[in-house]
Amino acid sequence: MKRVALFITCVNDALFPETPKAVVRILERLGYDVDFPTAQTCCGQMHANSGYRRDAATLARAFDDVFGGYDAIVTPSGSCAAMARDQYPHLTGSAIGQRVHELSEFLIDVAGVEDVGAVFPHTVTYHPTCHGTRALGLGDKPLRLLRAVGGIDLIDLPAADQCCGFGGTFALKNSEVSSAMLADKCANAAGTGAEYLAAADNSCLTHIGGGTSRSGGPRPIHYAEILASTA
Amino acid sequence: MSTDAPAPRGDLVPAASLIPADAPFPKAAKVALGMPQLRANLAHATGTIRAKRAKVAGELDDWERLRDTAAAVKADVQRRLPELAVQFEANATAAGAVVHWARDAAEANAIAARLVREAGADEVVKVKSMATQEIELNEHFEAEGLKAFETDLAELIVQLAEDKPSHILVPAIHYNRTEIRDIFDRRMGDAPAGLTDDPAALAEAARLHLRRRFLSAKAAVSGANFAVAETGSLVVVESEGNGRMCLTMPETLISIVGIEKLLPSFADLEVFMQLLPRSSTGERMNPYTSVWTGVREGDGPQNVHVILLDNGRTGVLADEVGRQALSCIRCSACLNVCPVYERTGGHAYGHVYPGPIGAILAPQLEPGRHDDLPYASSLCGACYEVCPVKINIPEVLVHLRQQGPHAAGERAAMGAAEAVMARPRLWRTALRAARFGAMPWRRKGYMRRLPWPGSKWTVSRNLPVPPKESFRDWWKERDR
Ligand code: SF4
């Protein structure tokens, strides 16, 4: 059986167990043998992007130790995959990022499937997260997977390519600007009337959901959870 | 012509005066965010120009190759800058120009002021130029008893309003036409009576006002978009033709040019002339491109001066990652797509170069100042996506963050996080503790109010509560 390692990311480890569970279900449904190396923690993105290069390098090296033995590492986060691929070479010289695949990349480019056999009879709008779309170049891969889901009703999100304002510590350091960006994203999301807002990164979804849970609007959901759903 | 005396000056409040220029970005941004008219003007203007850019850039099927080529040409220029600068000097001098070298703003201003005096003038007309904004030439001239009149329509608006530019290309982007009408009406002196806010009427009023200046000016000051080393030529790209008037009518022409504007050969312009108009105004071609090489007898200015300006640029050049900021052709596409700029405008950045390019250029040109600017970004990458010379702005932002100073409290928090994350057992313990500690909130599903610094989050967002069962627990269960 084909073996892959799962990198769940620190955010999911702490807050969102349903997302990595969904990834496991999807991959196993497609016949993969999923391994979860328990020594994994964080890719180091927060440290690197906040300017703490040394700390980030330590975490990057730890990532290499944990995942070095795998040919394919799947993660449900565009920004963590981008971190490994774009920043590790400068931080530690590691090329492991070439073997780290965001879920939709893995499904479409490696496994060669678009229809993963999911059913999700709900209205969904999709927010293309910045790091996934721009840094990683996911393009419309997550959306292609969603389009193949049975019963789904996808509604276009206006100004979808606009950042939600999360940006890691940006949300704290420039809280007001971040909040203004979030307000626009939430208004656009609410305007779709969709039940769910899907995205490829739970950090962005924490931000958007943190807003819509106050102002009203769709519920945040990682698209992996939609792909794992069968009824 | 209006016979009414200009209205009292007090009732026009320049936008820049409301935003504390020396305040850290988050503070200044907060003020800007609280100005609804400013935000509406910015959102409208950036939204329009963004759509235009996307359309005309999308028309070219070799757009990406043009970007790659432009980036390669600029990287080559940066590698050979000393050689190219000397080559430019030799060729411009041979063509009759006088080339001056200015280490910094003070030197450039002093040279320019001296040249104006030598021309027997006490006022100059100006072509829109970022370099002269950077060295604050107008302010310096004023202190020396010289007057500099902006002739670019938007720069004129800003100058009349005694404001500061808030955008590289559209310095008055923060004003709508009603506000511009008011500025003309109250400050232009020769504004026609009953001026309306019809764009054509506003343009006509400015045209009449400026025409008088062009006809009487003995000297002009310009910048340049490009300086061609191979020929010693300067190039100005513009829309209105007012620049062309300044470049051709006065006897003396003084051009202040950042050394990074050099291009090796005339043929290189072919690449940049496709990229620049499309990226800046969203036009396939700009209406006026002026190219001049030294002096031509009996045609145009007979005293042609070029001041090559360093002002921190060689320092930027020394940084291998940061130096790509010197590739910038000041198209302002990155400003127009930036979600931060769109909401705060340019004044909040506290530097003449605002937006994404300002956030990487200002702290490098003036090391130790503007350390807050590399953080004025969510790293969304929209700027990099549109930059015609492919400056990887997010990469430079992160690079600058990694050089810059960090607050002690943050340093400690980040160190603690790293210490936990680098030790898997400790990490698991910390997560368990968080799940346990979150018990009181679990029923509510969200934490709505946290003490500082968590309050910076909960000011506008709820925070989810850690789950009862972690993925790890589930995995362990299922492994049995
Ligand atoms: S950084 Fe790039 S996009 Fe921004 S102004 Fe300069 S050339 Fe234009």
Is residue A147 scored above 90 in pLDDT? Answer: yes
User: Which token pair is B125?
Assistant: 């007309």
CA angle B463/B468/B469 to nearest 5° reads 120
Q: What is the pTM of this model?
A: 0.94
Which one of A110, A136, A160 terminates a domain? Answer: A110
Does residue B332's CB lie within 6 angstroms of at least one atom of ligand 1?
Answer: yes
Does residue B388's CB lie within 6 angstroms of at least one atom of ligand 1?
Answer: yes
Measured from the Cα of B333, ligand 1's closest atom is 3
Does residue B328's CB lie within 6 angstroms of at least one atom of ligand 1?
Answer: yes
Q: Which domain holds residue B462?
A: 424-479
The predicted pLDDT at position B451 comes to 87
Cβ atoms < 10 Å from Cβ of B394: 25
In a shared domain, residues B305 and B429: no
A–B interface: beta-carbon pairs under 8 A: 179
Residue A115 lies in a domain: no
Which one of A110, A133, A153 terminates a domain? Answer: A110
Residue B151 lies in a domain: yes
Residue B15 lies in a domain: no
B123 - beta bridge partners?
A: B147
The predicted pLDDT at position B12 comes to 79
- Any chain B CB within 8 A of the CB of A46? yes
Residue of A nearest to B424 (CA): A39
Mean pLDDT value across chain B: 94
- Helix, strand, coil percentages (3-state) for chain B, rounded to 5, are 55, 10, 35
Q: Give residue B312's identity as a one-letter amino acid code.
A: G
Q: Are strands B262-263 and B226-228 parallel, antiparallel or unpaired?
A: parallel
Furthest C-alpha separation in chain A: 50
The predicted pLDDT at position B442 comes to 84
Does residue B254's CB lie within 6 angstroms of at least one atom of ligand 1?
Answer: no
User: d(Cα B196, Cα B202) in Å, to the nearest integer?
Assistant: 7
Confidence of residue B479 (pLDDT cuts 50, 70, 90): confident
Give me ligand 1 centre to Cα A114, in Å.
37
Judge: A134–B340 Cβ closer than 8 Å, yes or no.
no
Give me ligand 1 centre to Cα B127, in Å.
20
Residue A7 to residues A14, A153, B56, B422, Cα–Cα distance (Å): 13, 30, 41, 15
The predicted pLDDT at position B6 comes to 44
CB A226 within 8 A of CB A148: no
Is residue A227 scored above 60 in pLDDT? Answer: yes
In a shared domain, residues B298 and B438: no
What's the ipTM?
Answer: 0.95
Confidence of residue A85 (pLDDT cuts 50, 70, 90): very high
CB A216 within 8 A of CB A191: no
Which one of B263, B292, B313 terminates a domain? Answer: B313
User: How close B82 gets to chain A, by Cα (Å)?
Assistant: 29
Residue A139 lies in a domain: yes
Q: What CATH number does the domain containing B160 carry? A: 3.40.50.10420
Q: Which domain holds residue A209?
A: 123-228
Q: What mean pLDDT comes out for the span B292-316?
A: 97
**How many structural domains comprise chain A?**
2
State how far Cα B40 lies from the chain centre.
Answer: 20
Sign of CA dihedral B397, B402, B406, B411: positive
Residue B140 lies in a domain: yes
Give me ligand 1 centre to Cα B125, in Å.
27
Which one of B250, B278, B313 terminates a domain? Answer: B313
pLDDT tens sequence across B73-103: 999 999 999 999 999 999 999 999 999 999 9
In a shared domain, residues B267 and B138: yes
First-to-last alpha carbon distance for chain A, in angstroms, is: 27
Which range is least confidently modeled, A56-60, B6-10, B265-269? B6-10
Q: What mean pLDDT comes out for the span B171-182?
A: 93
Mean pLDDT value across chain A: 97
In a shared domain, residues A104 and A134: no
pLDDT tens sequence across B112-163: 999 999 999 999 999 999 999 999 999 999 999 999 999 999 999 999 999 9
User: d(Cα B264, Cα B380) in Å, to the nearest integer?
Assistant: 33
Is residue B480 scored above 70 in pLDDT? Answer: no
Burial of B326 (0-12, 13-18, 19+ CB in 10 A): buried
